Amino acid sequence: MLGIAQQAAVAQAVVSQSEALVSPPAATAPAAVAPAQSAAATAPQVVAPAVDPSGPTVAASRAGIAPKSADDTHQMAMMDQHMGEGQNIALMVVGGAALITGLLIGGGAGAAVAIGGAAIGLLGLYGYVK
């Protein structure tokens, strides 16, 4: 059995070893410690574990939806100016293709397809320029 003095010495050794593991090294501590801080310095300090950058992050957890930023408002204003142009461009492309197809067909049916294609293309051009 250990005596009271030996138990106290073992307990003191365990406390000093745990403080050495938990507290930062003395080289990073300031040289002059105020008396009020000396009591806080003897208490064990918990050191946060190092962050592993190779694992998943909160920033990478977004799935296509993100909050708006200041740059988004400028981009949205620019997109509003061009809103709906896709349909007009599609009308111009389809009208041009129908015009060329009608010219290749020839005859009365080809003329009808070419005139219809020209009308569709001009409708798309009108919407695009408007």
3-state secondary structure of 87: helix
> Regarding predicted confidence, which is higher, 61 or 107?
107
Whether the pLDDT of residue 116 is over 70: the answer is yes
Give CA–CA dist 113/119, Å, rounded: 10
Q: What was the pLDDT predicted at 12?
A: 78
Q: What was the pLDDT predicted at 94?
A: 96
Q: What was the pLDDT predicted at 54?
A: 73
Q: What was the pLDDT predicted at 92?
A: 94
Of these ranges, 38-42, 75-79, 118-122, the one predicted with the greatest mean pLDDT is 118-122
Q: How many CB atoms lie within 10 A of CB 96?
A: 16
The string of pLDDT tens digits covering residues 1-44 is 557 777 777 777 766 766 655 555 555 545 555 555 555 556 56
Q: Write down the domain spans for the chain.
A: 84-129
Q: What was the pLDDT predicted at 119?
A: 96
Give CA–CA dist 42/20, Å, rounded: 11
DSSP 75: H
Q: Comparing C-alpha atoms, which of 52, 38, 45 is closest to residue 24?
A: 45
Whether the pLDDT of residue 124 is over 90: the answer is yes
The string of pLDDT tens digits covering residues 47-71 is 665 665 677 777 666 676 666 666 6
* Token pair for 8: 């106290």
